[in-house]
Amino acid sequence: MDDLDRRLINRLQLGLPLVREPWQQIAQELHSRPCEVLDRLHDLLEDGVLTRFGPMFDIERLGGAFTLAALAVPEARFDAVAEQLNALPQVAHNYRRDHRWNMWFVLACATEAELAATLSRIEALTGLAVLNLPKEQTYHVGLYFPV
């Protein structure tokens, strides 16, 4: 990762400009060209430096359902269970925690019924009980992780 990659990641964390050609504006800000900015973004995604690039939707306002959930995964099965979760389109991401509930993940589904079915499917696939932690209140926190 070079300086342009770092500046691009830092800039993208601030959001895309709401203009007809956002890549042109970002390229100007970074003293680059739009095609180079887009190529760099694709390379960062392909190399796994970035795992996702896209909009954040308020799924509940769109009629969908989501939840934060956790599993207590035996260490010997951690990677295999992570692969099972990653294969499900409803799993937005998962991550390791240093806790008895060591695998946390976010589920996003079209309906509450699909959410319940997906939680049950995960229990059946993994043989592990899912700790379901639905949102009780919304907080908006501006996160920024300089690279």
Task: Tell me, yes or no, whether 38 and 80 share the same domain.
Answer: no
Band of pLDDT at residue 77, cut at 50, 70 and 90: very high
Q: How far apart are CA 132 and CA 113, in angstroms?
A: 14
Read off the tokens for 87.
Answer: 């294969």
Residue 124 DSSP code: H
Is the pLDDT higher at 57 or at 33?
A: 33
23 pLDDT more than 90: yes
Domain containing 96 — which CATH number? 3.30.70.3460
42 and 92 both lie in a single domain: no
What was the pLDDT predicted at 63?
A: 76
Domain count, the chain: 2
Tell me: do 33 and 71 sit in the same domain. Answer: no
The answer to whether residue 75 is domain-embedded is yes
Residue 103's domain comprises 65-133
Residues 36 and 77 in one domain: no
- pLDDT of 54 over the 90 cut: no
pLDDT at 36: 97
Whether 59 shows a pLDDT value over 90: the answer reads: no
- Amino acid at residue number 41: L
Residue 139 lies in a domain: no
The Cα 5–Cα 147 span in angstroms is: 9
Same domain, 77 and 121: yes
Q: What is the pLDDT of residues 81-123, one digit of tens each?
A: 999 999 999 998 889 999 999 999 999 999 999 999 999 999 9
CB-based contacts of 19, cutoff 8 Å, min separation 6 = 25
- How far apart CA 16 and CA 22 sit, in angstroms, is 6
Residue 59 lies in a domain: no
Instruction: Classify each residue of 50-69 as buried b or exposed e, where b means 16 or more C-beta atoms within 10 Å of its C-beta.
Output: beeeeeeeeeeeeebbbbeb
> How far apart are alpha carbons 141 and 77 in whole angstroms?
33
User: Domain check: are 28 and 70 in the same one?
Assistant: no
**What's the rounded Cα separation, in Å, for the pair 102 and 96?**
5
pLDDT in tens, 128-146: 999 999 988 877 777 788 9
pTM: 0.64
